[in-house]
Amino acid sequence: MKEKIEAFFRDFISCLQIAKLYTTGHPRFDKFLNQAYQSLSEILKDREEVLFGIVGDELAFEKEIFFDLSRTVSPVITYLKERGIEKISFRRGVKAEELRKFIDFLVLSKDEIKTDVAEYFAASGIEAISAGRLQTDAAKDDQGAGIDYQKIFAGAAGEIAQVIGSIISGDEPRIVNFRFSIKHLMESLLKQDKEIMMLSTIKRYDPGTFVHSLNVSILSMYIASKAGFSREDCLETGIASIFHDIGKLYISRKIIRKKGGLTTEEFTEMKSHATLGGEIMLNYTQGLGILPVVVCLEHHLRYDQKGYPKRRFLCTPHIASLIVSLCDVYDSLSQRRSYKNDYPPDLVYGLMSKERGSYFDPGLFDLFFKIVGVWPIGSIVALSDLRTAVVREENSEDIFLPKVEIIGSPGKREFVDLRQENSGLKIIKFLNPWTEGKQFLAEVRRIDSSEKNRHKIF
Ligand SMILES: [Fe+2]
Ligand SMILES: [Fe+2]
């Protein structure tokens, strides 16, 4: 029975992911829907009802917890929990059409769900399925805890690790899970940009293996959306950017981590990661499209058409490559690695602005810093009056003067718009979260985790 239940749930989740990524009209959707419906009908021959629950972050059926399955589908579990779905019950007599309608319901965005779940089901003719919250004490405490951005971020990093790991070992990557997870991240980013951007600023100092890929992806999707790309194009840009440096996995670690300059031979080997990456990604165009190939090949080709690899005919790189190259350089300069220091944001800006119009497309460069600011959201900074603050919102009119929140104000929260004429304050120093800024991280997290404080500040 356990195997049957697991098989059903896998197919059910595949239906949901395909419906979310494409539509319920996709041919693969019907295939998984039929499979899921077959196994469900089998299971319901022996029992009146099958009830699934989400307990914590795990998927449970009766007293059994499916740990392995939960790990594989963790982005879907986070997604369901965000929609207030912690239990799903299927009853004998359920029709395939009801299963389809239920999935239609699950892919609606939260803003589209105007009515109560039970009302929605009644109106759409879903009779033998119900879904909702588990009314345990823990679940009640969990209500209103809102979206867990850390989990969305970690889920996406886990899927990236899985896909890249499979590409290296020659196994079949879980592309649908991967796309689903990045799409979920993108939707949260474009709706609640501050939360994800803040997480990305903090994680920029995290030495995790795929954090750079994920950060470049977040920045690229964000810039692409602000540049007016459609949702689909933002997603494709974000997905392509994840693989920009995949060719580096085949370059000697010694060269990648070398602190000083590279010899001519070493530099030639290093540069080969662009073409190598393009060749690797050519094997995955079916699930990932052609853009990862283009971005791998072009992310070191500059706006002025210099850079590498050398081409026989010059032409401007694809706009997705230009975006990724900006975000890549920005994140790499900001990141700390065992073999390199991180640079404070004002120095990163200074270094990059020297390349405006040569390495970087000037329009994209201006848009990037207008959005990200010199001091990104979530940065801990020292002010000219010697108080410490955290950056809360950028000022697109003056990228040096964001809106900040003072850390350690007794009693109440204090916000300062540094651009206001009479504030007279400015940022004098960035406090690195690994060193001088570390002592303030706990306080910033405490303020952020307080639900009532999540509402708009300015
Ligand atoms: Fe690269
Ligand atoms: Fe990179």
Residue 83 CA, ligand 1 centroid: distance in Å: 38
Ligand nearest to the CA of 333: 2
Residue 332 CA, ligand 1 centroid: distance in Å: 10
Residue 347 CA, ligand 1 centroid: distance in Å: 21
Residue 327 CA, ligand 2 centroid: distance in Å: 9
Instruction: Please list all protein residues whose beta carbon sits less than 5 angstroms from ligand 1, which is an ion.
Output: 245
Beta strands in 192-291 (DSSP E): none
Residue 284 CA, ligand 2 centroid: distance in Å: 20
Reading the chain (458 residues) residue by residue, the pLDDT tens digits are 778 888 888 889 888 888 988 888 888 888 989 999 999 999 898 888 888 888 878 888 877 777 777 777 888 888 888 888 888 889 989 999 999 999 988 888 777 766 677 778 888 888 889 888 765 444 444 444 467 788 888 888 889 989 998 998 888 898 888 998 999 899 888 887 778 888 777 776 665 668 889 999 999 999 999 999 999 999 999 999 999 999 998 888 888 888 778 899 999 999 999 999 999 999 999 989 999 999 999 999 999 988 999 888 878 899 999 999 999 999 999 887 666 677 899 999 999 999 999 999 999 999 999 999 999 998 999 999 989 999 999 998 899 999 999 998 777 788 999 988 677 889 999 998 888 888 888 888 777 776 444 544 44
Residue 230 CA, ligand 2 centroid: distance in Å: 24
Residue 328 CA, ligand 2 centroid: distance in Å: 5
Task: Quote the pTM value.
Answer: 0.81
Ligand nearest to the CA of 215: 2
pLDDT given at position 83: 82
Q: What is the largest CA-CA distance in the chain?
A: 74
Beta bridge partners of 390: 380, 405
Nearest Cα to Cα of residue 28 among 42, 14, 39, 41: 14
pLDDT given at position 457: 44
Residue 274 CA, ligand 2 centroid: distance in Å: 11
Taking each continuous run of H as one helix and of E as one strand, the counts in the chain are 21, 10
Residue 87 CA, ligand 2 centroid: distance in Å: 41
- What's the chain's length in residues? 458
Asked whether the beta carbons of 391 and 377 are under 8 A apart, the reply is: yes
Residue 246 CA, ligand 1 centroid: distance in Å: 8
- Residue 149: phi and psi, rounded to 5, are -65, -35
Please state, as a whole number, how many other Cβ atoms lie within 10 Å of the Cβ of residue 21. Answer: 18
CA distance 330 to 334: 6
pLDDT given at position 142: 46
**Residue corresponding to tokens 């919102």:** 393
Residue 423 CA, ligand 1 centroid: distance in Å: 42
Residue 343 CA, ligand 2 centroid: distance in Å: 16
Domain 149-372: top CATH class: mainly alpha
CA distance 94 to 372: 50
Residue 180 CA, ligand 2 centroid: distance in Å: 23
Ligand nearest to the CA of 300: 1
Cis omega (within 30 of 0) for bond into 27: no
Beta strands in 221-378 (DSSP E): none
pLDDT given at position 119: 78
pLDDT given at position 340: 66
